[in-house]
Amino acid sequence: MSDEPHSLGGRRPITAKLADLDPDEIALRRWLLTRAVDAVDRISYTADGEKLREAVDADTDTAFLAVLSQLAMVDPVAAASDPLAAAKARGEQAKRDILASQGEMLSAAEAAQQLRDDVREIERRRLDGMLLALPLESGGYGFPSWQFAGDELLPGLEEVLRSLTAPSPWSRVLFLQSGDPYLGGQTPLEMIRRGEVETVRRLAAAYDDLVAS
């Protein structure tokens, strides 16, 4: 494969004419093209827009393929055999988006210092769902700083968390930060900050029914 610059405006001439190839090689090339188109199509629906632009603007085939390899968030073999691969990739991207929207994230040690507690207690509260912490791509957990108010949790948050039946930290954070039609489009977090805790607590307790409806 050549490393000459490639533009979207046209194609470089194909040096090997089809007439010079045997039928098996022609079929192989067509199959390769089909696989490549399918792979790029799958990636285009799961990748970050900025990275897609980086791929499109790549000056060489090598650079283009390097960006595509970064965008392939699932193993190509697994993607071919797993019909849910694209959905899983979208789920992973959604998690990255949630992480990016949290603002400052504290480590367990920093959360312990914030609450004037020890790390073991912070870990216990995380496992009990009484502290919000999201798994980080680098390993460990990040504690969103917006849940703290001085050396304690945001007033009313723990009461809501005790009632919230959402199972995963991702869904618990989404519940708190997503506008809800039952709250006139406001987020539960906004309501908690205004002191309207009981309204949010009742909504949290009905989480399973709301999700199933």
Give the residue extent of every domain in the chain: 18-87, 98-212
Distance (Å, whole) CA 179 – CA 95 = 18
Distance (Å, whole) CA 175 – CA 164 = 9
Encoded amino acid at 183, one letter: L
Residue located via tokens 């496992």: 127
Backbone angles phi, psi at 105, to 5 degrees: -120, 135
Backbone angles phi, psi at 143, to 5 degrees: -100, 110
Q: Tell me: the pLDDT tens digits for 25-45? A: 545 555 565 556 556 666 665
The pTM is what?
0.60
Backbone angles phi, psi at 152, to 5 degrees: -145, 170
| Residue among 97, 88, 111 nearest 173 (CA) | 97
Q: Tell me: the pLDDT tens digits for 130-172? A: 999 999 988 889 999 999 999 999 999 999 999 998 889 999 9
